[in-house]
Chains A and B, each alone.
Chain A
Amino acid sequence: MASFIVYCYARFCKKAGTMKHGTIGFYPEERLGRLSFRRAPRPTERLIQAFLFFCAAVSILTTAGIIVVLGTESAGFFKEVSILEFFTGKEWQPSIGKFGIAPLFVATLTTSLTAMAVALPLGLAVAIYLAEYARPRVRETLKPVLEVLAGVPTVAYGYFALTVVTPFLRGLLGQENVEVYNTLSAGLVMGVLILPLISSMCEDALSSVPGSLREAAYAMGATKLETSVKIIVPAAFSGIAAAFILGLSRAVGETMIVALAAGAGPRLTLNPLRSAETMTGHIVRISGGDLSYDSMDYRSLFAIALVLFVSTLFLNILSRNIVKKYREVYE
């Protein structure tokens, strides 16, 4: 209020011609010309804002970088190998010029689906338990435990697959049936890795179902199980589907577990007890060795990476759209 009066006084003085700027004023600062009620130009503010915008634009640059890098190198690759051959070829042997992505893709699919076969039922059961049955204290203890363990580096999971799960499988199914490197072991361990992600996403979906649905079900005489499985789970279905898809995308992009446990050397097989190399596993193995730029080996990695990027991006966007849709239903 006071400043408003001062402001009016200053304007009045100026208008009346009784005050020349910088000579007379209400405040001493004003008289010295150090106080102005005009909006001062602030170049630093502008500069800071520009810098902050640059920071935000870095993310766009990153995406552009990924697309340009994968695009140009793959373009070089597809000049030599036809796209048709790349997607339909059944053999991946760069040494003899055979670049069919099928063996790598099938192996990725095998490990990812094995992982989801473990992670989805278990993760959903954990989520139902935590959201519907567990007492708050149990929930508050278990959730951080699962989260912490989800933070274990994937290379440790790879170690676990190779030194514990594979010997266990070989003991269970017979040494001669299970190879030292096999996609089953990698897939199972990957399932354990993804489990916390699935359970926390499903739990969010289940607990965002309005309580009125539960109460209505109980009022109709449904038991707790019936309410959970027949009412709450279908109501949260889109959230669960989103969790499944995001988990699948994570599994497709997962690298260290398959690099350590699934085996080296592409092979077209649907048998999870044999070794096979996934897309990510192949990239890591080849780029880990001596790789000369501008060779077909080098470019082929970018073509694989492009397939990987596009498929995970597709899955991620699909998952997010499903989440968005179900939010609209309940809010």
Chain B
Amino acid sequence: MTGTFNQNLSVRHVRGSRWQAAFALATILAVAFLATLVLTIVDDAFGWVIMMDETDRRELTRDGVTLDAQNTAQLLATIDEHLSPRRYRALERELPFADRGRDDLYALVLAEIVNPEIAETYNLFESLVSAQAIKAQAAEEYPEGLLVFRSWVNARFLLAPQSAVPLAAGIKTAILGTLMTILITLAFAFPIGIGAAIWLEEYARDSWLTRAIQVNIYNLAGVPSIIYGMLGLAVFVRGLEPITSGAIFGASAAGDTANGRTILSAGLTLAVLILPVIIINAQEALKAVPGSLRQSSLAVGATKWQTIRYHVLPASFDRILTGTVLAISRAIGETAPLVVIGASTFLTQDPTSIFSKFTTLPIQIYQWTSRPQAEFRHLAAAAIVVLLALMLSLNSFAIVARNKMRKQKRF
């Protein structure tokens, strides 16, 4: 009897441990996939590049001083010598050369005369592992080229507007666009979301209307984001054009009007998109407040709203905040609805008001990724690094704020 019973036991145990290994492997694989994703992005955001100068900067050495160290007079002499008269006059008209500072002149010499172009790029992994091979290749194929280690995320990248030239392109316009859009989103979605959650948790009685609203919110949370884009296109961009283009507020009729395809429309669309998420999170937060807190407040004569305002909301605010930040970081990363409502594909002008045309970081990433050249791929990676950093800092800010508020709680 015992023999039969134990007959397969060792086999079963072996099978058990094999499958356990398989399950563990799947978990490791899943984490590895996601880690690869992040690593690839970092990998592409840094690395060696070979730059070819139109005019070799070694030729621009003047009085034995290299280009980087030249003073204003020397730079002016260089400009006089190398710049075509037509371009010279154009720049002079923009701002007289005499009024320009040394750094401005240096940047001008780099952009107009040296005019570096990227001949070859490498990513971080290659740069670290096969540095010798890269150097040899650079010396052989591009003897006049300049091999430099480039961080594609740099101060210039953050502060420069979009450009067709990869070396000059930056994301300032996109960052401003993202921030302004998110502010609008927050201004609308936060009060309405919390209001809805309060009504559902504190005021609503169990009726068909309440249940309909609740089911409706769950359904909205599952609607694909692109559908919200279609809604935004039809309602905010087209239907409410006089408002969203700023026409009825007398906004500038100068070249930057965007007939409804504005930051305001984008912010409203994203607000509608994240509203269900905010409501559901806020509801969870309100549910976690103990009922005794409400009863004790009502017992000493507070009205319903006073109870909510002075007791329920402060007690649940840390959770509400965390939920809102999660929703906002989702909104920051949204791309599809903004493409649909008509984000500008190539915008060099910073947004001046909520009635300006807009572009955001994810849109910029989308644009750069869809171009075939390697330089733009590196730019896209750099922009993703900035986007992730933005989201990560937002999340950690929320965590710190929540912990601080938790400490102040009295119960």
Contact A199 B30 (CB under 8 A): yes
Residue of B200, B222, B275 with most chain A CB atoms under a 10 A cut-off: B222
**Chain B residue nearest in CB terms to A132:** B23
Q: Does B203 contact A (CB under 8 A)?
A: yes
Within 8 A of A (CB), among B109-152: none
Whether B230 pairs with A156 at a CB distance below 8 angstroms is: no
Task: Kindly identify which residue among B16, B30, B195, B231 contacts A146, using a CB–CB cutoff of 8 Å.
Answer: B30
Chain B interface mostly helix, strand, loop or mixed?
helix
Assembled-state Cα–Cα distance A316/B40 (Å): 33
Q: Check if B333 sits within 8 Å of A153, measured CB to CB.
A: yes
Of all chain B residues, the one with the shortest Cβ separation from A67 is B231
Q: Is the CB of A56 within 8 A of B204?
A: yes
Within 8 A of B (CB), among A17-76: 42, 44-45, 48-49, 51-60, 62-63, 65-66, 69-70, 73
Q: Are A122 and B30 in contact (CB under 8 A)?
A: yes
Given contacts A153-B333, A283-B340, contact A246 B222 (CB under 8 A): yes
Chain A residue numbers with a CB within 8 Å of B226 are 253, 255, 280, 283-284, 305, 308
A154 within 8 Å of B by Cβ? yes
By size class, the interface of chain B is 35 or more
Contact B199 A56 (CB under 8 A): yes
Question: Roughly how many angstroms separate A320 CA and B227 CA in the complex, as a whole number?
Answer: 20
Chain B residues lying within 8 Å of A73, measured Cβ to Cβ, are 234
CA–CA, A163 and B378, complex, Å = 10
Bitwise, B274-306 to A at CB < 8 A (1) or not (0) is 011001000000000000000000000001110
Stretch from B81-89, B96-104, B364-372 contacting the other chain? B364-372
Contact B37–A157 (Cβ < 8 Å): yes
- Known contacts A51-B195, A255-B226, A308-B224; decide if A158 and B366 are in contact (CB<8 Å): yes
- Contact of B31 (CB < 8 Å), options: A146, A223, A246: A146
Q: B20, A224: Cβ atoms under 8 Å?
A: yes
Cβ-defined partner of A284 (8 Å) among B16, B340, B380: B340
CB distance from A91 to the nearest CB of B (A): 23
B14 vs chain A, min Cβ distance (A):
10
Cα–Cα distance between A65 and B193 once the two chains are bound (Å): 18
Residue of A nearest to B336 (CB): A255
A308–B218 touching, CB < 8 Å? no
Does A287 lie within 8 Å of B339, measured CB to CB?
yes
Minimum distance in angstroms from A117 CB to a CB of chain B: 14
Asked if A45 and B19 sit within 8 Å, CB to CB, the answer is: no
**Do A164 and B30 touch (CB < 8 A)?**
no
Cβ A70 vs Cβ B230 within 8 A = yes
Q: Does B246 count as interface, using CB distance less than 8 angstroms? A: no
Q: How far is the CA of A196 from the CA of B384 in the complex (A)?
A: 21
Partner of A302, one of B15, B230, B332, B384: B230
Assuming A153-B335, A283-B230, A308-B227, is B19 touching A225 (CB within 8 A)? yes
A216 to chain B, nearest CB (A): 18
- Give, as a whole number of angstroms, the nearest-CB distance from B213 to chain A: 5
A301 at interface by CB-CB < 8 Å: yes
Which residue in B5, B27, B203 is a CB contact (below 8 Å) of A130? B27
Taking CB atoms, residues of chain B closer than 8 Å to A309 are 223-224, 227
Q: Cβ of A151 and Cβ of B275 under 8 Å apart? A: no
Shortest distance from the beta carbon of A170 to any chain B beta carbon, whole Å: 14
Q: Do residues B370 and A260 form an inter-chain contact, with CB atoms below 8 A?
A: yes
Cα-based distance from A223 to B220 in the complex (angstroms): 43
Cβ B272 vs Cβ A133 within 8 A: no
A160 within 8 A of B: yes
Interchain CB contact under 8 A, A312 and B222: yes
The verdict on A49 contacting B203 (CB below 8 Å), with A59-B196, A125-B23, A255-B336 known, is yes
A162 close to chain B: CB less than 8 A: yes
Contacts of B192 in A (CB 8 A): 55, 58
- Whether A288 contacts B345 in the complex (CB less than 8 A), given A149-B37, A225-B20, comes out as yes
**In residues 210-234 of chain A, which contact B (Cβ within 8 Å)?**
221, 223-226, 229
Interface residues, chain B, with chain A CB atoms under 8 Å away: 5, 12-13, 15-16, 19-20, 22-24, 26-27, 29-31, 33-34, 36-38, 40-41, 44, 191-196, 198-200, 203-204, 212-213, 216-220, 222-227, 229-231, 233-235, 238, 272, 275-276, 279, 303-305, 326, 329-330, 332-336, 339-340, 342, 345, 362, 365-366, 369-370, 377, 380-381, 384, 387-388, 391
Using a CB–CB distance below 8 Å, which chain A residues touch chain B? 42, 44-45, 48-49, 51-60, 62-63, 65-66, 69-70, 73, 121-123, 125-126, 128-130, 133-134, 142, 145-146, 149, 151-160, 162-164, 192, 195-196, 199, 221, 223-226, 229, 246, 249, 252-256, 259-260, 280, 283-284, 287-288, 291, 293, 301-302, 305, 308-309, 312-313, 316-317, 320
Nearest 6 pairs of A and B residues by beta carbon? A253-B224, A153-B333, A55-B195, A125-B26, A255-B336, A225-B16
